[in-house]
Amino acid sequence: MSEDPVSILGGVGGAIACLEDLDLLAGRLRLAWEKLEEADAAAYNAFMAWSWKKYYRVEPSHACDPIERTAVGLACDQAATFREQAGTAQLERQLEELERRVQEAKAKYEEAERNAQAGFAKNPSLGFGWAGLLSGNAVIGVLATAGSLLLSVGFDAAGNLLVNGEAPTWADLLRRHHAELRGVGAAVYGPFLNPSDMFRIPDTKRAARGITAFATLFAGDGLRVEVDRLSKKSDRAPQSIEDLIRRIKTVRQSDPDKADSQIAVTKVTAQNGQVSWLVTIPGTQGMGFGWDSNAADNGTNLRAVPGDQNAIGLATVAAMIDSGVKPGEPVVLSGHSQGGIVGSALAADPEFTAQFSVAAVLTAGSPVSLLKPANSAQWLSLEHHQDAVPTLDGANNPRTANHTTVVRDLKTASDPAIRKGSKDAGVAHSGDTYANTAKLIDKSSSPSVAAWREAASPIFDRDAKVETTTYKVRRS
């Protein structure tokens, strides 16, 4: 596919889709086997009845005396020989054996898939995480988790930090200690959890909602936004996944003072008059939790990860309505980091998909494992193994027939600058690095990637008339 290896997981060519195909194949084999068995039995009985009459002048119902029963036995032997010569008995056995092997292959695929999905530690030193939760003291929780980490820490001969014998990245640490960190966080937001959640490590959705509830005490809900047109201009249609990723950076830099967040809505009108849309949503721009004027902050992140209403999501809907997006017109949502989370949260919302026809979603460096498509749209998620941000939701993306995840290990990159930068969290998460990865994916012949391209194809029309409106978003 390319000189740099990437792993393409899920989608129509993924293991889950293959399992569904295997299940369907096994069912059809069994049905064919059963139908053949029924036809074979009917042919056997017909041949035996014909033999009785032709050779022994015996009606089946009259085979009562010993001589007649002997004649019937000879007829049965002839019918059995007929079955073997006709090959139906052997074909039945072959179909039965093939169905058994397909079921065995399906079981092995399922086991391999379970093993592949087990990338996040399920029960890592939960006692340390509970220390913060039960004590209600964030300091104790932090110290307890630090103690947990120290148990697995060491150094190599050169003095480099090792965790469990390996040089870790932030992404590695998050995968191994996500549950503990949630436990520490619960020391702060524990009072905002349901009573039934107070004495267990909260899952990511509960953790995000607990922190949001805590932050709301100081900043309100942070959901009121102002959306204004910044510019409107003729444009060209994107021609690749790489184009889509690079466009995100362009949108982010469109505001001269950089004080507010931006969203772009691109109208693509084909020569036959068919209209499709591309919505481009950049990533996080502020570190606040709902109190900053820039709505693209952590407050939006915490609300979007579990799929809740958020400021940038509301602004995106307002921008789409202002641009004139109509029901039935295909929409592609594209975003990096927070932008991918927001786009996925919208595509997972049945109310949004009832209003807008989402055809495809593209995310780069976004934690979206908790979000599921609300319609049949194709999702494509790009992740780097060294990027900690996609691990923030504490789980791997589902490998369904309409969600494809492409994972790249930057340590194997042919570009020496990317290899060298693989230990840098900023390089691993940057839009430029993801654009480089997208360039590799554009060369892919994977059925899963091809299915995403087909779903998004209207926006790639090079002969279309294209117009992009960029919006400024400010929290009010």
What percent of the chain shows pLDDT beyond 70? 59
pLDDT at 225 over 90: yes
The 10 Å Cβ neighbour count of residue 20 is: 15
What is the DSSP code (8-state) at residue 198? T
Highest mean pLDDT among 11-15, 30-34, 315-319 belongs to 315-319
Query: What is the C-alpha separation between 281 and 471, in angstroms, rounded?
Result: 10
Largest distance between two CA atoms of the chain? 107
> What percentage of the chain reaches a pLDDT higher than 90?
42
Question: pLDDT tens for residues 247-273?
Answer: 999 998 655 556 688 999 999 999 999
* 420 pLDDT more than 80: yes
pLDDT of residue 390: 94
Residue among 341, 342, 349, 286 at smallest CA distance from 319: 342
Q: Which residues pair with 408 in a beta bridge?
A: 6, 384
Backbone angles phi, psi at 154, to 5 degrees: -155, -175
Answer whether 30's CB lies under 8 Å from 40's CB: no
How high is the pLDDT of residue 49?
62
- Residues 278 and 158: their CA atoms lie apart, in Å, by 50
The residues with which 49 forms a beta bridge, in sequence order, are none
pLDDT tens-digit profile of 71-84? 445 555 555 555 55
- Would you give the end-to-end CA distance of the chain in angstroms? 48
When mean pLDDT is compared across 204-213, 225-234, 344-353, 400-409, the lowest value belongs to: 204-213
The pLDDT of residue 309 is: 95
- Of the ranges 219-223, 323-327, 333-337, which one carries the lowest mean pLDDT score? 219-223
Query: What pLDDT is attached to residue 136?
Result: 47
Q: Determine contact, residues 55/27, Cβ cutoff 8 Å.
A: no
Q: Is 364 helix (H, G, I), strand (E, B) or coil?
A: strand
Residue with tokens 């900053």: 292
Helix, coil or strand: residue 398: coil
Residue owning tokens 């150094």: 155
- Hey, where are the domains in the chain? 15-117, 126-202, 225-475
Identify the residue whose tokens are 């008995």.
89
- Kindly compute the dihedral angle of the four CA atoms of residues 372, 348, 298, 417, in this order, to the nearest 10 degrees: 60
For residue 399, is pLDDT > 90?
no
CB burial of residue 143 (10 Å; 0-12, 13-18, 19+): middle
Least confident range from 17-26, 40-49, 95-104: namely 17-26
Structure tokens at 194: 């349901």
| Residue 86 vs residues 32, 44, 75, 285: alpha-carbon distances, Å | 17, 11, 16, 74
Q: Where are the alpha helices (DSSP H) in 379-424?
A: 416-421
Q: List the single range of 15-19, 50-54, 244-248 with lowest mean pLDDT.
A: 15-19
